[in-house]
């Protein structure tokens, strides 16, 4: 057995910044010095390789009383019976939440549960939802799905107070992802507060409306653009209730957020943290007693690659780590084969177990906001807040998020950002492991489930240019 007394005798030399820089210069073997490790984000935020600890930084508070986060599995199979078997397996093996991804949702990626009450009932058959988290992805049928689920709760005598809910309704995400709205913007703004009066009357817990940034991220938005759009979406929800003369103090706690996290660990950590600060700032501006933001994170689709898909497991693991360290309340991982089709049981298991390992073996959830005080992360968080606030104000000057989308302003900025990012990849300034760097000599076969993409058609009252998901590797020789 080791003699622990020797640990008390060990003395480590003090390393100052000058010594650190000398070691870095030596390790670069004449190809640069420490300053050559500086980098810049897509939003033009310049970052240095080393920062001092931020003094006096306080951890960002979250709404959860319990430590950790909720591991959520996507239920997106067009076959409701098979989706039910998947959900049962996920829960039996440790998942604590389910995300119902209906057909037509921008994040369904060509699949999704049929948008019918019968499909929802079948997918949830025999599943105890007590102490579970249940969410829906924003889609054209979101409003009707609220009624379908509440009716299902009544029929099965499910007490919503014994679970956490997120109905994920986000008109802006639906409008951007599908390019259409069922009714005019004016009619939507006038009808939404009244149509949700029943929700508030039933005193259902959880999130009703979301500022969902994932569709914008996957279409090419930068971190600040995604944050600014989410903020504008949330403010549009508040404005609807204000115009209906309903107290904002009751509406604000039912507004949540969904965002994407990718393999850029530091940026993803800072993005989640920045969202908390920004939402607190909005509430203070609206004279609302600030409540912590409720944040759902999902790993990025645009970062996934078709070639050497096993490298996606590394990407989603880094992204999941960043989401948890940043303070996400719930988290979903896209299976590593998602770009090839509907993921099978093996891919779903790997996605699920990644979260279980991060929780049960790495114990990531035991410390609240572990990045607090980190000089680099605090700098990045603050800079993202400022850049996102600029984007938010720009959208507000364009008439709000829905009118900005209708006018094509948001799309123009997002697509311009995507174009610049692709140029960096094409010119070799950014590399993609397994695609542009260290490509596999021979691709292994990928197994997915047989499934037909459901058709979705509805009469549109308003149209805009849709923002479709595009992976970064597609312009670099990646194909599915």
pLDDT number for residue 463: 94
pLDDT digits (tens, 9 = 90+) for 88-105: 999 999 999 999 999 989
pTM: 0.94
Arithmetic mean of pLDDT, 202-218:
90
Going by CATH, does the domain composed of 70-411 fall within 3.20.20.240? yes
| 2, pLDDT greater than 70 | no
pLDDT digits (tens, 9 = 90+) for 319-335: 999 999 999 999 999 99
| 385, pLDDT greater than 80 | yes
pLDDT digits (tens, 9 = 90+) for 31-53: 878 888 888 999 999 998 888 88
pLDDT number for residue 251: 84
Is the CB of residue 346 less than 8 Å from the CB of residue 469?
no
Residue closest to 250 by CA, chosen among 202, 192, 200, 189: 200
| 361, pLDDT greater than 90 | yes
pLDDT digits (tens, 9 = 90+) for 393-434: 999 999 999 999 999 999 999 999 999 999 988 888 888 888
């Amino acid at each position: 057995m080791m003699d622990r007394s020797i640990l008390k005798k060990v003395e480590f030399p003090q390393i100052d910044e000058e010594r650190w820089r000398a070691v870095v210069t030596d390790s670069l073997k004449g190809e640069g010095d420490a300053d050559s490790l500086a980098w810049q984000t897509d939003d033009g935020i310049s970052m240095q390789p080393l920062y001092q600890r931020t003094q006096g930084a306080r951890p960002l508070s979250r709404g959860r009383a319990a430590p950790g986060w909720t591991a959520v599995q996507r239920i997106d199979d067009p076959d409701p019976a098979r989706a039910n078997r998947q959900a049962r397996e996920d829960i039996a093996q440790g998942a604590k939440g389910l995300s119902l991804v209906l057909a037509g949702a921008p994040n369904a990626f060509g699949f999704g549960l049929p948008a019918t009450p019968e499909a929802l009932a079948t997918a949830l058959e025999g599943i105890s939802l007590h102490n579970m988290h249940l969410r829906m992805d924003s889609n054209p049928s979101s409003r009707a799905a609220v009624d379908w689920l509440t009716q299902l709760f009544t029929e099965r005598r499910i007490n919503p107070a014994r679970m956490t809910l997120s109905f994920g309704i986000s008109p802006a995400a639906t409008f951007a992802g599908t390019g259409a709205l069922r009714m005019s913007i004016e009619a939507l703004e006038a009808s939404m507060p009244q149509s949700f009066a029943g929700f508030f009357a039933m005193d259902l817990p959880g999130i009703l409306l979301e500022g969902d940034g994932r569709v914008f991220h996957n279409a090419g938005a930068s971190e600040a653009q995604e944050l600014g759009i989410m903020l504008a979406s949330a403010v549009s929800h508040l404005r609807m209730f204000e115009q209906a003369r309903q107290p904002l103090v009751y509406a604000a706690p039912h507004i949540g957020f969904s965002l994407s996290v990718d393999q850029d660990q530091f940026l993803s950590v800072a993005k989640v943290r920045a969202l908390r600060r920004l939402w607190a700032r909005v509430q203070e501006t609206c004279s609302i007693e600030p409540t912590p933001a409720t944040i759902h994170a999902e790993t990025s689709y645009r970062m996934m690659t078709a070639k050497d898909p096993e490298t996606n497991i590394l990407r989603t693991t880094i992204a999941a780590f960043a989401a948890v360290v940043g303070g996400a309340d719930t988290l979903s991982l896209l299976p590593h084969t998602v770009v090839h089709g509907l993921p099978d049981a093996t891919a779903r298991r790997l996605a699920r177990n990644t979260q279980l390992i991060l929780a049960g073996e790495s114990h990531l959830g035991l410390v609240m906001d572990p990045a607090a005080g980190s000089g680099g992360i605090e700098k990045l968080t603050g800079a993202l807040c400022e850049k996102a606030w600029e984007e938010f104000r720009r959208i507000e000057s364009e008439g709000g998020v829905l009118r900005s989308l209708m006018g094509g302003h948001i799309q123009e900025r997002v697509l311009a950002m995507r174009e610049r990012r692709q140029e960096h990849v094409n010119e070799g300034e950014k590399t993609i492991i397994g695609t542009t760097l260290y490509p596999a000599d021979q691709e292994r076969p990928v197994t997915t489930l047989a499934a037909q993409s459901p058709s979705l058609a509805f009469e549109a009252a308003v149209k805009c240019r849709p923002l479709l998901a595009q992976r970064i590797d597609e312009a670099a020789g990646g194909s599915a």
